[in-house]
Amino acid sequence: MRQLAIIGIGQTPVGELWDKSLREIAGEAVLAAMLDAGLEKVDGLFIGNMLSGILSRQESLGALVTDWVGLRNVEAFKVEAACGSGAAALRIACMAVASGELDSAIALGVEKMSETKGGDTTAALATAADADYEGAMGLSFVALNALVMQRYINTYHWQHTDFAPFSINAHQNALTNPYARLHESIDYNDYARARMIASPINLLDASPTGDGAAAVIVAPIDHLLQIPTGRPLITIAGSASATDTLAVHDRHDSIWLEAAYRSSRQAYHQAGVSPDDIDVFELHDAFSIMSALSLEACGFAERGQGPRLGLDGEILPDGRIPIATRGGLKARGHPVGATGIYQIVEIVQQLRGEAGETQVPNARTGMAQNIGGSGATIITHILQSSH
Amino acid sequence: MRQLAIIGIGQTPVGELWDKSLREIAGEAVLAAMLDAGLEKVDGLFIGNMLSGILSRQESLGALVTDWVGLRNVEAFKVEAACGSGAAALRIACMAVASGELDSAIALGVEKMSETKGGDTTAALATAADADYEGAMGLSFVALNALVMQRYINTYHWQHTDFAPFSINAHQNALTNPYARLHESIDYNDYARARMIASPINLLDASPTGDGAAAVIVAPIDHLLQIPTGRPLITIAGSASATDTLAVHDRHDSIWLEAAYRSSRQAYHQAGVSPDDIDVFELHDAFSIMSALSLEACGFAERGQGPRLGLDGEILPDGRIPIATRGGLKARGHPVGATGIYQIVEIVQQLRGEAGETQVPNARTGMAQNIGGSGATIITHILQSSH
């Protein structure tokens, strides 16, 4: 396989972007990434998106966006893996360039959720779960995660408030990220007193959705040597994906992310690294319970001990395994199909040393993990800096 | 790029499959393809599907289907390019295997359209068009194609009935295809008298939608040499994709398929062949006008002369360029996101000599072209037989 690099990044702020259409926010991120890479032409576009068909009554996103950004006729498709759609698009962009079929590809994640032409967002998000066996029972996505969190708390004897550090860290880190949806510091008392949504998940356990788009450009290193950038070379050292059962009740163990375990192990193997080598980790903190489960499945904590890393301060930007360094899903926001690419943009910022006040010191190796469904599709990427 | 082959095919009948769910029809095609290939394990699954989110309230198809068919934990995503989703999934399966990331991949196309949980099918299909500039005007998909056909007839001075041979040939060829939706011979008078849908498109210009799934398995030739099949080796000699503007009115020329021209030229170049070398061509006859436009863009007819091939009998199984040899979209049926894979299955049948009464004599090189939107995304594959 050709060695690959990420040579450009772009993003829009996450929020309620009422004055911009789906194609406009997509275009804003793509053009920012092309400008960042210094490219006027790219060979292909792979778009991570979950809900455009239901909420915007718009499929065919490939042709929609290529024309809008001045890449008419270029190969382009939409890729869907629920909230893991963003990283799925990057995974396919990597395959496209690694195969030699394309010499450069944009992986775009885009979601427009505030304004809908097709029904409510909670019902739309439930399409990530098993429609016949979970959706048909009226299980919303937050309810599914609440069941998982309750089981975890009972099994490992935690208090609900032991999860507070995940949310506090995310909110703190978002304060200086201009693209984040929430710029609001929270403390332990805010967390403990937050309004309950689906017990034990309260408002500060859950990430806000939103509109947003993020894009990265993938190119092979051999081509890249001719492009002087004056920046460190950011290589894709690992890229792997795995699935689990779609319905949570079908799993042998409902509080273990088997697909996170498998995809992270494969990515570590490809990159020739271990969890000890990861300097920064953008994980999929759609709900605080998912932070604990990801940290465990990826080898940063023993089973049942994920919350301990938060309580001990190890997840802070200067801790052993910094997470949500630009706000995470919890505070940067979770425009679902775009999230996986926001994570990659943020890891690139860390590896370039462009992460401002939440810069992780000497970050050389970063990992991003994006989850579709309640652990059903999990994609892990490891990036490394040449510095 | 690794040289690739198609080593297994599977399909369900196209129709109103009321007694089978989305996962069941998907599983039926996948398991048939695995049985045909003699494989019990495949490394990845790429699913072409357009409407599962809207009609079945089900996304996350990757995890849904891998678990159902006994491939739990295997990498899997959904790929969307409207009615071109099937071939888009094959294109990505090819990239996945060619890159060396996977050693085998299933490209599945599946659509469940008869039974909906989310509104009507015509409105859902309109999401293939530009929602802001076409859909918002109330343009249905058939209306868009009617405008294109009217313009074509006016420009090149054809009679509507000059398109009859496309539909008559498709219906005739479907008679002996057990997987086809329609088994009904039609003649010139039936065509001329058929009920008008959106002038000039009548009922016999339009393809029937339906439920259905088809699957093919892609593997690299180097691996394949160890698998004795007793069948000719079917290689993927060309694979290419291009886009055009999503809205038809944005095109310089509304009766020319630029993306078909580009993707077919690239596929010819990859395969080292010209239109003269194509023995059989499964084109995207969603409406009869699209047959004419595809034949012209791919170099089988001069501009404006597509209908002549039908009138001269050149599209019949023993003609110069046989099309719709198993019924085409018109009579095999058009389960939209599955269609692109049905076309590949049918080309493989022709190249294996398994096409029964509509076998094209000495078929060695076959082409399939799948279209998403009104010419917005067009994917062309060329397959060759070792016989």
Asked if B108 and B215 touch (Cβ cutoff 8 Å), the reply is yes
Q: What SS3 state is found at A193?
A: helix
Per-residue pLDDT of chain A (387 residues; tens, 9 = 90+): 689 999 999 999 999 999 999 999 999 999 999 999 999 999 999 999 999 999 999 999 999 999 999 999 999 999 999 999 999 999 999 999 999 999 999 999 999 999 887 678 988 999 999 999 998 898 989 999 999 999 999 999 999 999 999 999 999 999 999 999 999 999 999 999 999 999 999 999 999 999 999 999 999 998 775 555 678 999 999 999 999 999 999 999 999 999 999 999 999 999 999 999 999 999 999 999 999 999 999 999 999 999 999 999 999 999 999 999 999 999 999 999 999 999 999 999 999 999 999 999 999 999 999 999 999 999 999 999 986
Written as six digits, the tokens of A82 are 């629920």
In one-letter notation, the amino acid at residue B59 is: E
Q: Which residue has tokens 């690694």?
A: A98
High-pLDDT (> 70) share of chain B, %: 97
Catalytic residue among A160, A284, A334, A381: A334
The verdict on A142 touching B (C-beta cutoff 8 Å) is: no
**Across B81-102, average pLDDT:** 98
Taking the C-alpha atoms of residue A339 and residue A309, their distance in angstroms, rounded to an integer, is 23
Question: Would you say residue B226 has pLDDT above 90?
Answer: no
Q: Which residue has tokens 């860390």?
A: A350
**Residue of B95, B115, B132, B381 for testing the chain A interface, max A β-carbons within 10 Å:** B95
Q: How does residue B128 score in pLDDT terms, banded at 50, 70 and 90? A: very high
State residue A185's pLDDT score.
98
Asked if A272 and B90 touch (Cβ cutoff 8 Å), the reply is no
- Among B21, B78, B101, the residue with its CB nearest the CB of A1 is B101
The verdict on B93 touching A (C-beta cutoff 8 Å) is: no
State residue A222's pLDDT score.
83
Q: Which residue has tokens 């039609």?
A: B186
The verdict on A249 touching B (C-beta cutoff 8 Å) is: no
State residue B17's pLDDT score.
96
Asked if A379 and A240 touch (Cβ cutoff 8 Å), the reply is yes
The verdict on B118 touching A (C-beta cutoff 8 Å) is: yes
Q: How does residue B222 score in pLDDT terms, banded at 50, 70 and 90? A: confident
A164-173, B132-141, B342-351, range with the lowest pLDDT: B132-141
- Among B95, B98, B244, the residue with its CB nearest the CB of A63 is B244
- The size of the A-B interface in CB pairs under 8 A is 227
pLDDT digits (tens, 9 = 90+) for B279-331: 999 999 999 999 999 999 999 999 999 999 999 999 999 999 999 999 999 99
**Residue of A20, A236, A243 for testing the chain B interface, max B β-carbons within 10 Å:** A243
Q: What SS3 state is found at B78?
A: strand
Q: How does residue B227 score in pLDDT terms, banded at 50, 70 and 90? A: low
Which chain A positions have a beta carbon within 8 Å of B140's beta carbon? none
Q: Per-residue DSSP letters for B264-327? A: HHHHHHHHT--GGG-SEEE---SBHHHHHHHHHHTTSS-TT-HHHHHHTTTTSTTSSS-BSTT-
Q: What residues have CB less than 8 Å from A137, skipping those under 6 apart?
A: none
- Among B54, B82, B100, the residue with its CB nearest the CB of A54 is B54
The verdict on B77 touching A (C-beta cutoff 8 Å) is: yes
Which chain B positions have a beta carbon within 8 Å of A57's beta carbon? 123, 126-127, 131, 135
CB–CB of A78 and B74 under 8 A? no
The verdict on B377 touching A (C-beta cutoff 8 Å) is: yes
CB–CB of B59 and A127 under 8 A? yes
Asked if B112 and B56 touch (Cβ cutoff 8 Å), the reply is yes
Asked if B285 and B170 touch (Cβ cutoff 8 Å), the reply is yes
Q: Per-residue DSSP letters for B195-214? A: PEEETTEETTTB----BEEE
The verdict on A266 touching B (C-beta cutoff 8 Å) is: no
Asked if A280 and A367 touch (Cβ cutoff 8 Å), the reply is yes
- Among A77, A101, A131, the residue with its CB nearest the CB of B98 is A101
Taking the C-alpha atoms of residue B184 and residue A270, their distance in angstroms, rounded to an integer, is 55
ipTM here: 0.97
Residues 333-362 of B with CB under 8 A from A: none
The verdict on A259 touching B (C-beta cutoff 8 Å) is: yes
Q: How does residue B197 score in pLDDT terms, banded at 50, 70 and 90? A: very high
State residue B225's pLDDT score.
58
CB–CB of B98 and A94 under 8 A? no
Q: Which residue has tokens 């692109």?
A: B340
**Across B227-239, average pLDDT:** 85
Average pLDDT value over all residues in chain B: 96
CB–CB of A128 and B80 under 8 A? no
